Chain A
């Protein structure tokens, strides 16, 4: 089940409870930035990935499954990858293939087909894992929240038994990346996000704004990543080919941004988040223009109880440190620890 072996580092201050290893469940609609986030978890010796559950989003479900299986294989990780929901709860699926490529992996010709996922539906796997280890698992969500919402609909106590949930979801500051008000993961299945945000799940929301401000990879940084000279460093850059075009033309960034890796960094090392505000956050499911907006009650004008920890600022150095450590090690087995940047 586990991807990592020995617990080699002294990063104990960021680890769970008394244990040495952080146990993760990763729910992902695996495309190019999800894949880098998976590498960061699978190559981190202090992290055990219990299961990867896949949801339709950036790409159709089966493509996401293939991308996750390929990425795990590239990391030499024996982690079960399970297929989950093939579309949003109530709405038709609208993929982001114009952002990440038809195959979601930059359309660079990767052999992302033909692999077989582990048996068991993602929703069942999430429920069973949390049943067996209540209070111990950190859930990292990198895609639409359909799988997680289904788990909560099926068993509302799921929300109370997850240790912590770090979600790449929404945006704490406008604009959004798919509409002026909304970020893709929430926009594509707003009802699912609404269910999850209201469930009592202890969520740390890492919005698109955090990625845009602290995890945008420009040309200089690309050169540094490539200079690491490993298969994983080349992979991490090459699969962003389509995303880079999109970022330069549509989201007007100076490079490609890595929302899912930033969320993963916050999950693995909470100190990556340098400013966090506890706020009431609601998801707009109706309206004319507001679909999928994460409405953050900054001034506490609604009188509603705060339900989410919203990340507002992050350490780019620590983020890049975790990223480089994950993609920079060329050997067999789990990556060695590379000191983080700060």
Chain B
């Protein structure tokens, strides 16, 4: 089936808040969301994840500076998981969290509001139900849901990148965004908000091959140059694993789902988050075969038409001059 919430359908652009930890693939999520005529990007919020939250916020400002995204507030959020010790992903994203390109000083300011306050303010005050796109650890989203319980009934959807029904990428059991803050993920998956879970089996279908990187570089724009440099760095770090999938562009799939769900195959499933196990905490227990017969709390995209995705992504990047 296609998504229950048909992306760009109906009147107007779909209002979203993008919560992220940029992060090389996060950068593409920002660029896709800001460029898409189907999406009204109302805020970018940052969370500790791929690196410390200060670096994540700086990176969001750097990306927006290069891309000329000036009218979207960037608010900083939580600097650590709810209860667990912080873990960062510098092995993949480098010490800046966004290694590869060289950046000048950012020309976009940080919004003075805390990400949680901004999320609550925007959702509560919105003219239409808002969608959260969450492509980092779910600390900000969970904290906002706990702090303002009415969000759960007001949000249209949370489209997130995280989890897997099979092997993880940070531990054998778990994917990075979920394992960094499993308690937060559990709050989100049990919140009752319609969830779309773009997991590793989906995102591993979206590989930035050398041919794709050439297409990005051929744009010949500052954004194209930045993106090509990021993808080359990312291709190098992701190739170090014994069983490398190549540079999978995880995060923008959660944005693409909102723009054009027809490029996906997806099914509603029941998903639990393991929070108490010794080794397998952070695992998303995806009941693919419905053996539990429990209510379906997430739509899980299983396949994506990679060619159409890259056309969408390249088209978005080409809008930046």
Instruction: Please report the C-alpha to C-alpha distance between residue A90 and residue B82 in the assembled complex, in whole angstroms.
Output: 9
| Residues of chain B contacted by A195 (CB below 8 angstroms) | 82-83
Closest residue of chain B to A121, judged by CB? Answer: B147
Pairs across A and B, CB under 8 Å, 20 listed = A85-B146, A85-B147, A86-B149, A87-B146, A89-B82, A89-B83, A89-B146, A89-B183, A90-B183, A90-B186, A90-B275, A123-B147, A153-B139, A153-B143, A154-B78, A154-B114, A156-B79, A156-B80, A191-B82, A195-B82
The yes or no answer to B187 lying at the interface (CB within 8 A) is yes
The yes or no answer to A230 lying at the interface (CB within 8 A) is no
The yes or no answer to B276 lying at the interface (CB within 8 A) is yes
Instruction: Please report the C-alpha to C-alpha distance between residue A85 and residue B116 in the assembled complex, in whole angstroms.
Output: 14
Whether the pair A154, B146 counts as a contact (CB closer than 8 A) is: no
| Residues of chain A contacted by B83 (CB below 8 angstroms) | 89-90, 191, 194-195, 285
Closest residue of chain A to B117, judged by CB? Answer: A124
Instruction: Please report the C-alpha to C-alpha distance between residue A194 and residue B183 in the assembled complex, in whole angstroms.
Output: 14
| Residues of chain B contacted by A123 (CB below 8 angstroms) | 147
Q: How many CB-defined contacts (below 8 Å) exist between A and B?
A: 40
The yes or no answer to A150 lying at the interface (CB within 8 A) is yes
Closest residue of chain A to B146, judged by CB? Answer: A89
The 6 A-B pairs at the shortest CB distance, nearest first, are namely A191-B83, A90-B183, A153-B143, A154-B114, A153-B78, A194-B83
CB distance from B187 to the nearest CB of A (A): 7
Whether the pair B143, A154 counts as a contact (CB closer than 8 A) is: yes
Q: Scan A154-168; emit 1 where CB is below 8 A from any B CB, else 0.
A: 111000000000000
| Residues of chain A contacted by B139 (CB below 8 angstroms) | 153
| Residues of chain B contacted by A85 (CB below 8 angstroms) | 146-147
Whether the pair A90, B147 counts as a contact (CB closer than 8 A) is: no
Chain B, interface residues (CB within 8 Å), range = 10 to 19
Closest residue of chain A to B120, judged by CB? Answer: A121
Interface residues of B in 10-68 (CB under 8 A from A): none
Chain A, interface residues (CB within 8 Å), range = 10 to 19
| Residues of chain B contacted by A155 (CB below 8 angstroms) | 114
The yes or no answer to A134 lying at the interface (CB within 8 A) is no
Closest residue of chain A to B184, judged by CB? Answer: A90
Instruction: Please report the C-alpha to C-alpha distance between residue A194 and residue B85 in the assembled complex, in whole angstroms.
Output: 12
Closest residue of chain A to B115, judged by CB? Answer: A154
The yes or no answer to A286 lying at the interface (CB within 8 A) is yes
Interface residues of B in 49-104 (CB under 8 A from A): 78-80, 82-83
Instruction: Please report the C-alpha to C-alpha distance between residue A97 and residue B210 in the assembled complex, in whole angstroms.
Output: 64
CB distance from A45 to the nearest CB of B (A): 36
| Residues of chain B contacted by A156 (CB below 8 angstroms) | 79-80
Closest residue of chain B to A286, judged by CB? Answer: B276
Instruction: Please report the C-alpha to C-alpha distance between residue A191 and residue B189 in the assembled complex, in whole angstroms.
Output: 19
Interface residues of B in 111-158 (CB under 8 A from A): 114, 116-117, 139, 143, 146-147, 149
Instruction: Please report the C-alpha to C-alpha distance between residue A154 and residue B78 in the assembled complex, in whole angstroms.
Output: 6
Closest residue of chain B to A146, judged by CB? Answer: B146
CB distance from B161 to the nearest CB of A (A): 23
Which residue, of A86, A90, A285, has the highest number of chain B Cβ atoms within 10 A? A90
Instruction: Please report the C-alpha to C-alpha distance between residue A41 and residue B117 in the assembled complex, in whole angstroms.
Output: 31
Instruction: Please report the C-alpha to C-alpha distance between residue A86 and residue B114 in the assembled complex, in whole angstroms.
Output: 21
CB distance from B263 to the nearest CB of A (A): 36
| Residues of chain A contacted by B78 (CB below 8 angstroms) | 153-154
Instruction: Please report the C-alpha to C-alpha distance between residue A81 and residue B189 in the assembled complex, in whole angstroms.
Output: 33
CB distance from A124 to the nearest CB of B (A): 8
| Residues of chain A contacted by B114 (CB below 8 angstroms) | 154-155
Instruction: Please report the C-alpha to C-alpha distance between residue A191 and residue B275 in the assembled complex, in whole angstroms.
Output: 12
| Residues of chain A contacted by B149 (CB below 8 angstroms) | 86
Instruction: Please report the C-alpha to C-alpha distance between residue A286 and residue B183 in the assembled complex, in whole angstroms.
Output: 13
Instruction: Please report the C-alpha to C-alpha distance between residue A306 and residue B187 in the assembled complex, in whole angstroms.
Output: 32
> When A90-B183, A191-B183 are in contact, do A153 and B82 touch as well, CB less than 8 Å?
yes
Closest residue of chain A to B183, judged by CB? Answer: A90
Instruction: Please report the C-alpha to C-alpha distance between residue A235 and residue B227 in the assembled complex, in whole angstroms.
Output: 69
